[in-house]
Amino acid sequence: MVEKNPPRKHRQRPFRRRAAASVAAAAALTAASVTPFGPSSAVSPALAADGAAVLTVAVNQSIDSLSPFLAQRLTSTSINRLVYEYLTNYDPKDAHPIPGFATAWKPSASGLTWTYTIRENSTWSDGRKATAEDAAWTFNTMMADPDAAVANGNFTANFRKVTAPDPRTLVIELKKPQATMAALDVPIVPRHIWEKVGDFATFNNDKTFPIVGNGPFIITDYKVDQYLKLKPNKDFWRGAPHFDELVFKYYKDGDAAVAALQKGEVSFAADLTPAQAAALKNAENIKVNDAPGRRFHALAVNPGARSKDGSAFGNGHTALRDPAVRKALFQAVDRRAVVDKVFQGHAVEGQGYIPPRFGTYFWQPSDAQRIAYDPTAAAAALERAGYRTNGAGKRLGKDGRPLGFRILCHATDPKDKAIGKYLQEWWGRLGIGLKVDCLDNVSDPWQAGDYDLAFDGWSVNPDPDYVLFIHTCDALPATPQDSGSTDNFICDKRYDDLYARQAVEYDPAERAALVERMQSRLYDTGYMNVMAYPNAVEAYRTDQIKSITTMPEAAGNLWGQDGYWSWWSAVPAEDGGGSGSGSGSSTGVLIGVGAVVAVAAVLGGFVVMRRRSTAEDRE
């Protein structure tokens, strides 16, 4: 699943994953709001009262659910990867599929039947043996109950039949070929626990602890928007983690998280702003990691919220259903300025939907197709389409009223606010007003279709199927009362045709070509304006963490990985726990942190253009 930023879709939208939005990402702030952090004082590693080594991770994205059937935000799906095994995992070096709960897999000659060999040495944390029956029950439940398919239903929609002929064999029969069979990002749950659940739509799995899983960690405690605590699973087949406890601690404010890092109250903080990264660059006992990320940051347009049954709902502005208006808004966004002024160089200019880190699927528009920043052309296009200005310079809609839009902004994300100021100026030059609605909870109005535009973002997996699926007609909610899996209600038949073709294509090159065509179509419709691919800018205390694995190893991220490598591999600093630290003695390969040193941004205020002029979730 996308560590659906996300997403943060990593989605930036509160209910997304891999959206979509994990914590305050690199963004510029006004000079008055930038806090100059002083040098870090020497802080001893975080130890519990009993001398146990504790690894504390600062997060500022709320957990949408601890149910693997519902969780879509990056924080939630990252937790899933720590608690439950998936059939396959991703190699930390290059993200190719490797064994997880399954040790081997192979298709039939027709490609319609896949057989997985389930490992013998996987045990649920309550002592029960984990078997193929657990996987079969997980998938069959998703196939039979729509409420169990909310988060990852795209993976099972094409399944015809799933059986477990014996404890070590799982057989999946397909209706047609499916390209994601070696990358089914679905947490496998223990049948003996979950078959007692009556209503998957409302069960959040957050009342009884410890939570039973078979991954490297076990959830022991949770308080909403305060903390989530995990302990090592000493029976994990790959070997137990090295720290005695892992804590995700919630911070609504990014500066507070960085201050806690400096004081040694947390071991790690992600999504640093450029100013924070610069201030921490030379801080004692702190290492900044600045590497190509797996996310995108975009503007999403409400095309008119509707459900599969044909019902329209929400109050999105009807002018945005006009391609001419969407393209003009697209032309009036200076993506280069977003990278330079807001991300201060800690990002790459956005183009296609898949970040350049995923080279196989990365797409760029041709020179002829590219929508370049050209406000003059944008104004002329609006004039030609019948959107003229009045004597006061206000752009008028077809109803004769001044055009003005609303954009949903994440209150905890400074880059949303910064870009919002630029959009107000850029679109203001077109005579179009913009209200920036920065909310703690953007999920409710988003799902209700009560928005015009929104800051959007997802963390993309090595296999991009999920972030492609969320823009299909099949992802729309069944009725206005349902949530569905849609990102922002896009339903385009040409896009859907390409999605269906890539989903059944086993040839890697042919599939990649189809995915590129999907991105081209999404780009041309103007519903998604990918402004930037943010770097992963994060920091950790070297007096608490001796070594840790980035993904990719050579130059990758620690937070929000496609796997559990960072927190599973992390080794306490030598002076951090003595004989009491590092309860795990991992039998797996432990890799040192990738040698990526932060490129510091200039510390200082937010320099605006013209002396003023600048995404709870699914992941």
Closest Cα partner for 22 from 595, 563, 459? 459
**CB atoms inside a 10 Å sphere around CB 524:** 16
User: What are phi and psi for residue 445, nearest 5 degrees?
Assistant: -65, -30
Share of the chain above pLDDT 70, in %: 85
Query: What percentage of the chain's residues is helix, strand, coil (to nearest 5)?
Result: 25, 20, 55
**CA 467 vs CA 10, 12, 392: distances in Å:** 11, 13, 42
Per-residue pLDDT for 355 more than 70?
Answer: yes
pLDDT bracket for residue 15 (50, 70, 90):
very low
The predicted pLDDT at position 49 comes to 65
| Count helices and strands in the chain by DSSP H and E runs | 15, 21
- pLDDT category at 484 given cuts 50, 70, 90 is confident
Secondary structure of 388-426 in the HEC alphabet? CECCCCCEECCCCCECEEEEEEECCCHHHHHHHHHHHHH
**Per-residue pLDDT tens digits for 518-542:** 999 999 999 999 999 999 999 999 9
Residue 192, classed as helix, strand or coil, is helix
Q: Contact at 8 Å (CB) between 459 and 74?
A: yes
pLDDT tens digit string along 108-160?
999 999 999 999 999 999 999 999 999 999 999 999 999 999 999 999 999 99
Closest CA to 162 of 178, 590, 408, 427: 178
Q: What would the mean pLDDT of 573-596 be, rounded to a whole number? A: 38
Tell me the pTM. 0.84
Q: What's the pLDDT at 46?
A: 64
The per-residue pLDDT for 36 is 36
Cβ–Cβ under 8 Å, residues 573 and 555: no
Q: Domains (ranges, CATH) in the chain?
A: 295-460+518-534 (3.10.105.10)
What's the whole-number average pLDDT of the chain? 87
Nearest-angstrom CA–CA distance, 306 and 601:
43
pLDDT at 48: 73
DSSP codes joined into one string, 360-392: TT-----TTT-----HHHHHHHHHHTT--B-TT
**Element containing residue 134 per DSSP (H, E):** helix 132-144
Query: pLDDT tens-digit profile of 227-258?
Result: 999 999 999 999 999 999 999 999 999 999 99
Tokens found for residue 321: 């259903």
Q: How far apart are CA 556 and CA 90, in angstroms?
A: 14
Distances in whole angstroms, Cα of residue 468 to Cα of each of 80, 93, 471, 497, 548? 21, 24, 6, 12, 31
Q: What per-residue confidence (pLDDT) applies to 574?
A: 75
Determine how β-strand 245-250 pairs with β-strand 54-59.
parallel
